Amino acid sequence: MPRAFLVVMDSVGIGGAPDAERFFNDGRPDTGANTVLHIAERQGLALPNLDRLGLGAAIRLASGADAPGLAAEPEGLWGAATEISPGKDTPSGHWEIAGVPVPWDWHYFPDRQPAFPPELTARVCELAGTQGILGNKHSSGTVILDELGAEHLRTGWPICYTSADSVFQIAAHQEAFGLDRLLKLCEDLAPTLHEMRVGRVIARPFTGTPGNFTRTANRRDYAIAPPAETILDIAANAGRDTHAIGKIGDIFSHRGIGKLHKGKSDAELAGHLLHLLDEASPGSLTFANFVEFDSLYGHRRDVKGYGAQLEWFDGIVGQALDRLQPGDLILFTADHGNDPSWIGTDHTRERVPVLGYGLPKRGIGNVGFSDIGASVLAHLGLDAPGHGKSFL
């Protein structure tokens, strides 16, 4: 039986979203944002493997722009995908790719201080056993540790903050506060946030001393569950082996996942992907997320770092293509944009590339996010979810 590998390059957008004017960064609409194009224009990009699959052609299709250095004749299946969910966030993008467009508007906390309603703050204090919380505002995760880490050690109060995403994040010292205590706090709090349509509660453990705090790899996301069956559920219910690499388990509330493969970095996650290309069973589905484009470089508006990460990942793509077995399909796509040249720190509303190998080379045009998941299931010989149409 054929195997399928679905790889999300987190935030690697290619511009051209038809509704970009409805989404904002620091009051400026996302119209014109284009993650890969703007990196290529500012410093050039050497992406021979992604480009030969059709990345440059996909950028031209999505946005009408020619990206410098990305002009190869496509040798793979290529196109661009447009999102219909009313968000530009991680759950929205992944759920829709997996066949479940988000049917509601997410709740976002206002960018003011305090950001959280008193009843929510009281609930956190009740569960944490503290007299108060620290933060209670929008902030970068690294900045708030420098600002409030010492106060956290002194008081024992959790650091609670949010961002432009629909998230509630809690940072706590892994030793002084306790990792298990932090994870339980987030797990117990999650139902309250999910009722508010907040997408994720995120545990952000850290270690160190004042002036030298470091976030650890023990982050845990407690995400609201998708409201319908995803491609993971459908494959698992059909008796297929399902593998989740990276954040996929958290994004889908660990539903429909047979085996989870975590790592401290994208480099470790790449090792899992390459291993599964060698070892995954016939008929299996592997769903992977590579997050560092977004988390380390997009939000921090680091054009140089983002470009270097793309070039590193292009090497992984080459190794992955070499490991494909007869009948395999591998698709590379993204969940949203995060243009590192753009104003603000939030994601950017963009179309995303759809680049495939294992099928005859051809352009598929502009498709929907849900068409990606429908195509994966069609390749596996399984019925499509409620949304999406196969482009195979």
**pLDDT tens-digit profile of 345-370?**
999 999 999 999 998 999 999 999 99
Question: Does residue 101 contact residue 125 with C-beta atoms inside 8 Å?
Answer: no
Annotated ligand binding at 275? The verdict is: no
178 with 261, same domain?
Answer: no
Residue 183 counted as domain residue: yes
Where does a domain end: 223, 243, 270? 223
Residue 81 counted as domain residue: yes
Residue 322 counted as domain residue: yes
Q: Which of 159-193 are b and which e, b meaning 16 or more Cβ less than 10 Å from the residue's Cβ?
A: bbbbbbbbbbbbbbbbeebebeebbebbebbbebb
Residue 339 counted as domain residue: yes
Annotated ligand binding at 335? The verdict is: yes
* DSSP H or E segment with residue 4: strand 4-9
366 with 232, same domain?
Answer: yes
Where does a domain end: 223, 246, 270? 223
- How are strands ordered across the β-sheet holding 362-368? 259-261, 242-245, 285-290, 4-9, 329-333, 352-357, 77-82, 362-368
Cα distances (Å, whole numbers) of residue 327 to 136, 360, 377: 51, 11, 14
Q: Which runs of consecutive H residues, i.e. helices, occur in 290-352?
A: 292, 303-323
Rounded CA separation 163/242 (Å): 32
What's residue 161's pLDDT? 98
164 with 238, same domain?
Answer: no
- Cβ count within 10 A of residue 48: 16
337 with 237, same domain?
Answer: yes
Q: What is the pTM of this model?
A: 0.93
Question: What is the percentage of the chain residues whose pLDDT exceeds 70?
Answer: 100
Where does a domain end: 171, 205, 223? 223
Question: Does residue 310 contact residue 338 with C-beta atoms inside 8 Å?
Answer: no
296 with 219, same domain?
Answer: no
Q: Distance between alpha carbon 299 and the CA centroid of its chain, in Å? A: 12
**Residue 156 backbone dihedrals phi, psi, to 5 degrees:** 80, 5
Q: Which of 274-303 are b and which e, b meaning 16 or more Cβ less than 10 Å from the residue's Cβ?
A: eebbeebeebbbbbbbbbbbbbebbbebeb
Residue 385 counted as domain residue: no
157 with 238, same domain?
Answer: no
Question: Does residue 238 contact residue 258 with C-beta atoms inside 8 Å?
Answer: no
243 with 374, same domain?
Answer: yes
Q: Max CA-CA distance within the chain?
A: 62
* Mean pLDDT value across the chain: 97
- E strand segments, 175-226: 200-209, 212-215, 220-223
257 with 149, same domain?
Answer: no
Residue 99 has pLDDT above 80, yes or no: yes
Number of domains in the chain: 2
Residue 16 has pLDDT above 80, yes or no: yes
Residue 392 counted as domain residue: no
90 with 155, same domain?
Answer: no
Annotated ligand binding at 10? The verdict is: yes
Question: What is the percentage of the chain residues whose pLDDT exceeds 90?
Answer: 96
Residue 19 counted as domain residue: yes
Structure tokens at 163: 């961002």
- Mean pLDDT for 185-207 is 97
Annotated ligand binding at 266? The verdict is: no
237 with 348, same domain?
Answer: yes
Residue 385 has pLDDT above 80, yes or no: no
- CATH value at residue 166: 3.30.70.1250
Of 319 and 163, more confident: 319
- CATH value at residue 333: 3.40.720.10
What's residue 165's pLDDT? 87
190 with 295, same domain?
Answer: no
In tens, the pLDDT along 250-280 reads: 999 999 999 999 999 999 999 999 999 999 9
Residue 30 counted as domain residue: yes
80 with 211, same domain?
Answer: no
Which residue range is the domain that position 179 belongs to? 118-223
